[in-house]
């Protein structure tokens, strides 16, 4: 049995479909379907069972014996709303819940792969898995960092493999339910279809209009690395999961315009209330991931955008 928390979400549902493609359907999905629209991500997936996140947490805290049947737990469930400032809620969802998962995995000897985030780096342009580079700008990033720090404190005593993957700016199929938190590529596509324009921020953080930089990574590449992490037998720590390239929003917009064969870029004022909590430059340093044995390539953003738009407009 494979357990995927957040299995109806963006990365989680793509992971489930990839497992299906590999011949696995013995999958327990854990999620919160209060927003029932997420069901669409799993409508064509093959799974063994579904469990609400609250019920699953109770099993974790009771160290329920059936958990030891799990081959691996992919813990991808979290509150990923970066504009949420309720720290108590965020820390419970993203840290305390993860701690419960880790405790149960260690008790039953089950390998764990969990979702960390590039948000832990904040405004650090050099994104290396080192404490000196970790300075989150919002409570979401902090909630992810707290659990990464908790893992570091326990690594020497853990008997199970545990891999935290710091996902960068992920885009691709099955993110439509995320609303404002969907990728800029999803939103740019909607803007272009509705108005013929892609709206980018004017210059900020010392960068020209539309030249803010992010490491945009296609969800299929993220899933591939996540599945690889689930095969590790003697690794404990966090690894970056991104392409290793910083790409401007202008370049992303041009890729969309080229695919559509029409459109133009419009620059809009940078929101002042966002300035202090905005990552203007991210790029995954892949040195640690390569040293750990991950040798797969990541698609360039131009190819990734084409692949995604082909899926969106199929």
Catalytic residues: 140, 178
d(C-alpha 223, C-alpha 24), whole Å: 15
Helices (H), the chain: 10-21, 53-61, 87-91, 97-108, 139-154, 184-195, 219-229, 249-260, 287-291, 301-312
d(C-alpha 91, C-alpha 138), whole Å: 12
Backbone angles phi, psi at 28, to 5 degrees: -95, 120
Give the CA radius of gyration of the chain. Answer: 19
What number of helices (H) and strands (E) belong to the chain?
10, 13
Strands laid side by side in the 49-52 sheet: 49-52, 27-31, 2-5, 72-75, 112-117, 162-167, 236-241
Query: ∠ CA 248-136-183 to the nearest 5 degrees?
Result: 40
Residue 29: enclosing H or E segment and its boundaries?
Answer: strand 27-31
DSSP-derived pairing of the beta strands 213-214 and 247-248 = antiparallel
CB 250 within 8 A of CB 93: no
Residues near 31 by beta carbon (within 8 Å), at least 6 away in sequence: 5, 6, 7, 8, 9, 12, 38, 50, 52, 53, 77
Which of 309, 183, 195 is closest to 256 using CA atoms? 309
């Amino acid at each position: 049995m494979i357990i995927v928390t957040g299995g109806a979400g963006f990365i989680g549902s793509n992971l489930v479909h990839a497992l299906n493609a590999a011949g696995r359907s013995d999958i327990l999905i854990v999620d919160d379907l209060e927003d029932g629209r997420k069901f669409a991500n799993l409508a064509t997936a093959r799974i063994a069972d579904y469990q609400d996140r609250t019920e699953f947490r109770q099993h974790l805290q009771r160290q329920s014996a059936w958990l030891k049947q799990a081959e691996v737990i992919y813990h991808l469930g979290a509150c990923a709303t970066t504009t949420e400032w309720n720290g108590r809620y965020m820390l419970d969802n993203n840290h305390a819940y993860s701690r419960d998962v880790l405790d149960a995995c260690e008790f039953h000897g089950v390998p764990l792969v969990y979702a960390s985030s590039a948000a832990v780096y904040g405004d650090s342009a050099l994104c290396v898995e080192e404490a000196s580079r970790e300075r989150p700008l919002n409570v979401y990033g902090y909630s992810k960092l707290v659990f990464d720090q908790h893992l570091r404190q326990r690594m020497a005593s853990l008997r199970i493999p545990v891999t935290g993957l710091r996902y960068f700016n992920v885009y691709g199929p099955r993110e439509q339910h995320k609303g404002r938190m969907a990728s800029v590529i999803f939103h740019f596509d909607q803007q272009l279809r509705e108005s013929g324009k892609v709206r980018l921020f004017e210059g900020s953080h010392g960068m020209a209009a539309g030249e803010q930089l992010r490491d945009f990574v296609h969800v299929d590449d993220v899933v591939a690395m996540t599945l690889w992490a689930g095969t590790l037998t003697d690794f404990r720590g966090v690894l970056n999961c991104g392409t290793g390239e910083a790409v401007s929003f202008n370049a992303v917009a041009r890729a969309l315009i080229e695919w559509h064969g029409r459109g133009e870029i419009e620059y809009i004022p940078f929101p002042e209330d966002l300035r202090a909590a905005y990552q203007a430059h991210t790029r995954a340093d892949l040195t640690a991931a390569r040293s750990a044995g991950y040798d797969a390539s990541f698609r360039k953003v131009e190819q990734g955008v084409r692949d995604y738009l082909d899926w969106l407009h199929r």
